[in-house]
Structure 1
Amino acid sequence: MTWGKGCGYLAQGCDEFTDLDLSHAIIGTTLKVRLLLYTRDNVTCGALMSHTNLHAHPQFNLSRPTTFIIHGYRPTGSPPNWLQSITEMVLFREDVNLIVVDWNRGAANVNYFKAVENTHKTADNLTAFIQKMQEHGASLSSIHMIGVSLGAHISGFVGANLNGSIGRITALDPAGPQFTGTSKENRLDPTDAQFVDVLHTDMDTLGFREPLGHIDFYANGGADQPGCPNTILSGGAYFKCDHQRSVFLYLDTVNQTCAKKAFPCSSYKEFLDGNCLNCDLFGSVGCPVFGYDITKWREVLLKFGQTKTFFTTNSVSPFCMTGYMVDVVIWNEDVRWGYITVKLHGDDGQEAVANIDHKALKFKRFTETKLFAQFDKDIQLVKKVSFKFSTGNALKPRYKLRVLRLRLTHLEEKKRPLCRYDVILEESKEVTFRPIPCEESNF
């Protein structure tokens, strides 16, 4: 790939995203929409687009696809801290016209309701620009809008204005306040584009709870994200961390840092219980993988209408996790209840941990208990395995879990399951052993 110098238009000056501060937000800003164009010839140097004279920008090639990046509410007026990353990553992946929609004057306002009002006006502005593109030969099918928070609904309004003809809308944690409970004309919905994919990360506060696209991904259940503060004592991060995580999860997929397989399921609880791990519904393509490349599943997803899926992540990038099915058969006479922690050890000193503690698990004699274990790393060659059983009750006598068989099956790769037979787990004591390939037998 041949790259430009990044700032090839410095002679004319680089145009940057509007940088405001809290004083602007307190006073309130009047809407002004600026379109900053980036291409592989000017990756880091924005060119301010004319809304009417497209020929003024020789680097704007309408035979290429066009991607719009649309930010959301900016209560302090500062530019989004992810703008440069998403611009560079998308242009590395694909030769497109990338247009950053700068509506900071309009989004920067301590009065959130004013910013919401400006979403429709911003959408009308973008609609007129895209219609101008269409007049000059651009294909609406080749347009991809990536909208964050309020930007997700702006994308939807643009799509509706164009009768759902644009190719794709990606909605990253669409805003909930002032949109929840409204009709589909007043929010994003699946008819707004030929394909709509949605990620939910903060549905209990700033995000939207219900499905809005052809496929909706709920990361870690769609509400609280790992590594984000749980108390208001953490300041501003408490309010924005879960919401903003949507962008960073998406960036991981643009950058191809890791694949996040998502499983269709009716609820997060059913997903954690391991009841939704069958991907046969999607045929040879398997379960969808969240993110930039979801269009590989487009045709099969369009057949289903709306699909709700779940996946889990780590607390920092790379956010991907590795899933195993863990089967446990005990021979205690009495039923045992408790939690399991599993640790995988590689030959290079690496360790991966899975805590299966979302609910107390029931272990019954000669009955297979299936556990869905999600590890923070993928250990390619597992040398040792550690198990720990706990009841979570320090006041009762300590129990032993007499295990007839433990079996671990990798959910991503076609590896032979690993087993251990006849092991005793003393409560709250970690037991480490070398696994062996499973025998072909059932209990």
Structure 2
Amino acid sequence: MFPWHYLALLLLITVHICKAQDCDTFTDLDVSHAFLGTNLDIRLLLYTRENGSCGKLLSHTNLTAHPHFNLSRPTTFIIHGYRPTGSPPMWVENIREMVLEREDLNLIVVDWNYGAANLNYFKAVANTHLAADNLTVFIKLMETQGASLSSIHMIGVSLGAHISGFVGANLVGSIGRITALDPAGPQFTGTTPKDRLDSSDAQFVDVLHTDIDALGFREPLGHIDFYANGGTDQPGCPKTIFSGGSYFKCDHQRSVLLYLDSVTCASKAFPCSSYKDFMDGNCLSCEKFGEAGCPVFGHDVIRWKDILLRLRHTKTFFNTNAVHPFCMTNYRVDVLIWNEEERYGYITIKLHGINEEAEATIDHSAAKFQKFTETKLFAHFEKDIGSVKKVTVTFSTGNVFKPKYKLRVLRLRLTHLERVERPLCRYDILLKENKEVTFRPIVCEELSNF
């Protein structure tokens, strides 16, 4: 008797193989291609919720060739950057899944690996203009067949950010949004707006900076510019050249990881003129944003679009963890002392919840404590403790050979900057240098001004 169940299994495997063969994938090159150089070739891979894991190569001239390409839906373009080794970006699949999970749209991965894979960076830069011209023609064709330019969102990484800008400029700033993830700096720094991304290239331009001292662009470029950890050294990235290639690219690539993380873990960003002022706690007010509060970095910053367009250009800062989840929880810490003499030092605070805790060390510079003068500090905790049961505080000076000091605290106040809730306080604490003091906080009482 013929084993029909084996035949059914064989047919099922065959169907899956055929489906896999029907999928188009990102071009996979190697160092030999980059060494010899490649000619520009733009491939547009379409993903929708109907074919979320199976890319379909789009025709540049026949937009009706693929049934899933619905021009009445919004369209998001993902544009990668320089690929010196020719390999596909590791993040493409993740960002594709993220975008399609959030919205029912056409997602187009722009594969310009032929053109980006070249050891000659200057050639890759030159190809950004050619790639932009190609995409411009494609989008104009979309428009003639019913697509709304306002519903187009371009997410560009490094060189891809400037490609997005060139496309936007070609279309006179009529596309809806450009998100630029650490726009490339080399060959673009110091150029005029027509030769790089700028805020006039789309109706709304949001920019993330993570490597402004090397591969990224330092100056603001959009309606809102986010500087993660000041835009330079990212936590968890190698600090020395002995770490190999990661030393050169980790900060730059962190921009994509932060954007991916923003969907489930949004970081509040604070408008400020400098990272120093941000770290010193001088920029904690979000009054200019009204009831909306400070904007969050990432996919959902579009909710602040109208306010940001009115403000025109906004520079913001936020800090992150070294690993996923990257978002941190921010507190304002106010310390009022009654020591007769000034004290300089650092504060470490540990929040204890139910079976969890989070710690923040405020040590970027020595804080100045004066009698009856409130010292304002900015604390970044690695996670949010929903209900704080206990608080541990440590005061230190960093002076190994000098006498140990004491900080006589009249009031310590913790104000959560992510949630609207009453501040927590503790009154009359004696902090001995390098000695932990743990207490149960209470809801703050009002004190008269000193």
Determine if contact 1:8/1:42 at 8 Å carries over to the other structure: no
Decide whether the 8 Å contact of 1:9 with 1:42 is kept in 2: no
Task: Give 2:280's aligned residue.
Answer: 273
2:201 is the alignment partner of 1:192: yes
Q: Which SS does the other structure have where 1:230 is aligned?
A: coil
Report the aligned-residue RMSD: 1.3
Structure 2 equivalent of residue 245 of structure 1? 254
AA matched with 2:298: G
Q: Which has the greater radius of gyration?
A: 2
The SS at the match of 1:115 is helix
Partner of 1:70: 79
Deviations 1:304-332 (A, max 9, x none): 11110111111111111111111111111
Q: Distance in 2 between matches of 1:8 and 1:78?
A: 24
Give the match's secondary structure for 2:352: strand
Paired letter, 1:130: I
User: What is residue 294 of structure 1 aligned with on the other side?
Assistant: 301
How far does the alpha carbon of each residue in 1:394-430 deviate from its partner, in whole angstroms, 9 at most, with x for none? 1211111111111111112222211111111111121
TM-score by structure 1 length? 0.96
Query: Structure 1: how far apart are the matches of 2:307 and 2:442?
Result: 39
Report the AA paired with residue 268 of structure 1.
Answer: Y
Rounded to whole Å, the distance in 2 between the matches of 1:430 and 1:81 is: 44
Counterpart of 1:44 in 2: which secondary structure? coil
1:33 equivalent to 2:42? Answer yes
Q: Does 1:46 align with 2:55?
A: yes
Q: Hey, what does 2:314 align to over in structure 1?
A: 307
User: What corresponds to 1:423 in structure 2?
Assistant: 429
1:260 aligns with 2:264: no
SS class of match (1:293): helix
Amino-acid identity (%)? 74
Deviation at 1:8, TM superposition (A): 11
Within 2, Cα distance between the matches of 1:184 and 1:129? 23
**Secondary structure class of the residue paired with 1:37:** strand
Does the 8 A contact of 1:329 with 1:404 survive in 2? yes
Residue 412 and residue 11 in structure 1: after superposition, are their counterparts in 2 closer, same or farther (change >3 A)?
A: closer
Structure 1 position 12, deviation (Å) = 6.1
The AA in structure 1 aligned to 2:120 is: N
Out of 391, 396, 399, which is 1:390 matched to?
A: 396
Shift of 1:50: 0.7
Match of 1:113 in 2: 122
Q: What is aligned with 1:95? A: 104
Q: Matched residues in 2 for 1:346 and 1:38: separation?
A: 43
Q: Does the residue aligned with 1:251 lie in a helix, a strand or coil?
A: helix
Deviation (angstroms), 1:347:
2.0
Change (3 A) 1:382 1:11: closer
In 1, Cα distance between the equivalents of 2:410 and 2:294? 32
Q: CA deviation at 1:153?
A: 0.1
Structure 1 unmatched ranges of 5 or more = 1-6
SS of residue in 1 equivalent to 2:250: helix
Moved over 2 A (4+): none
1:9–1:45: 8 Å Cα contact kept in structure 2?
Answer: no
Alpha-carbon displacement from aligned partner over 1:195-252 (angstroms, at most 9, x marks no partner): 1000000111000000000110111111111111111111111111111111011111
Shift of 1:40: 0.4
Deviates more, 1:189-198 or 1:411-420: 411-420
1:321 aligns with 2:298: no
Residue deviations 1:70-94, cap 9 Å, x none?
0000011110000000111111110
Corresponding residue number in structure 1 for 2:350: 343
Measure the CA separation in 2 of the matches of 1:226 and 1:207: 17
Using structure 2 for the length normalisation, give the TM-score.
0.95
Q: How many pairs were matched up? A: 434
Where does residue 147 of structure 1 map in the other structure? 156
Cα drift, residue 11 of structure 1: 7.2
| 5+ long unaligned stretches in structure 2 | 1-15
The DSSP-based 3-state class of the residue aligned with 2:384 is coil
